């Protein structure tokens, strides 16, 4: 497993480099995904260690992190966008790329299925139902690790504090208000439908509502400590009574979730 795991790291590093280009905007996007891959891989391992998983499972968690966005590179080269709705689902595309890699067959059948399940479900609205607790746990690990790093990537753009630093493809007009129906979803503590997004404020709220979809207390603590939640909340408009109610609900949810202890047998 150790050699195979090293081979995978080397392949992925070279694969990402093969997309380097002179086009500054495209290069910016590729570089962003390369960094994201590194951080998510590290977070997957940290979470596996935190949960007390053995070395085999830790390496699998790292493999899932390493390859979770492998589809992004082909997506960008084919469609020049990271928008799934305007191209194709990047997780499904990633599974196609992985099917073409002979070294994936060196994993046991069970481990390969686990890696594919976690990657295929890393970006879906909900995790596909499964009786397999190992698969479910790995899907939860990658979803948390991914969100934790996406908050890092999106912070300047969500808060509008550093729009200059935000990559071109995520630059939109800042400062628009959250739509009233989105505020009601916030009050109810639900998840918003991405397709209903109308304003930049809605976009911020959708990311803030991810907090309710974080699986482990470990992850939520890191999100809070980094200040992502406070920064997004500080930039929300309008500040009416309903919005304050949504914020209050979110804060008490966070306080409670952060007090819970994570278990490996979730």
Interface residues with Fe ion (CB under 5 A) are 69, 123
Residue 170 CB, nearest distance to Fe ion (Å)? 14
Residue labelled with tokens 């699986």: 215
Question: Minimum Å distance from CB 123 to Fe ion?
Answer: 5
Identity of the residue, 121 or 123, whose beta carbon is nearer to Fe ion in the bound complex: 123
User: To the nearest whole angstrom, how small is the minimum distance from the Cβ of residue 51 to Fe ion?
Assistant: 21
Min separation Cβ 73 and Fe ion, Å: 12
- Contact residues for 255 (Cβ-Cβ < 8 A; gap 6+): none
Q: Give the nearer residue to Fe ion in terms of CB position, either 34 or 69.
A: 69
In the complex, least distance from residue 88 CB atom to Fe ion, rounded to whole angstroms: 13
What sign does the CA torsion over 47, 52, 56, 57 have?
A: negative
- Nearest residue (CB) to Fe ion, 69 versus 201: 69
Using CB positions, name the residue nearest to Fe ion. 69
Using the minimum distance from each CB to Fe ion, give the nearer residue, 147 or 200. 147
Nearer to Fe ion by Cβ, of 46 and 69: the residue is 69
């Amino acid at each position: 497993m150790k050699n195979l795991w090293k081979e995978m790291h080397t392949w992925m590093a070279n694969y990402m480099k093969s997309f380097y280009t002179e086009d500054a905007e495209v290069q910016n996007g590729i570089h962003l995904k390369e960094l994201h891959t590194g951080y998510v891989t590290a977070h997957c391992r940290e979470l596996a260690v935190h949960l007390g998983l053995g070395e085999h499972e830790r390496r699998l968690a790292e493999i899932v992190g390493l390859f979770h966005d492998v589809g992004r590179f082909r997506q960008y080269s084919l469609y020049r966008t990271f928008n799934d709705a305007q191209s194709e689902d990047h997780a499904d595309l990633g599974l196609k790329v992985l099917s073409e890699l002979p070294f994936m067959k060196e994993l046991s059948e069970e481990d390969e299925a686990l890696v594919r399940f976690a990657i295929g479900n890393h970006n879906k609205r909900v995790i596909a139902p499964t009786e397999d607790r190992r698969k479910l746990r790995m899907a939860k690990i990658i979803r948390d690790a991914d969100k934790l790093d996406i908050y890092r990537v999106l912070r300047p753009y969500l808060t509008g504090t550093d729009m200059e630093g935000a990559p071109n493809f995520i630059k939109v007009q800042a400062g628009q208000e959250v739509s009233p129906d989105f505020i009601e979803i916030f009050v109810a503590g639900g998840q918003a439908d991405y397709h209903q997004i109308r304003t930049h404020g809605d976009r911020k709220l959708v990311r803030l509502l991810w907090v309710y979809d974080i699986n482990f207390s470990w992850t939520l603590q890191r999100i809070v400590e980094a200040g992502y939640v406070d920064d997004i909340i500080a930039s929300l408009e309008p500040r009416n009574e309903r919005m304050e109610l949504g914020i209050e609900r979110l804060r008490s949810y966070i306080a409670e979730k952060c007090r819970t202890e994570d278990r490996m047998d979730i």
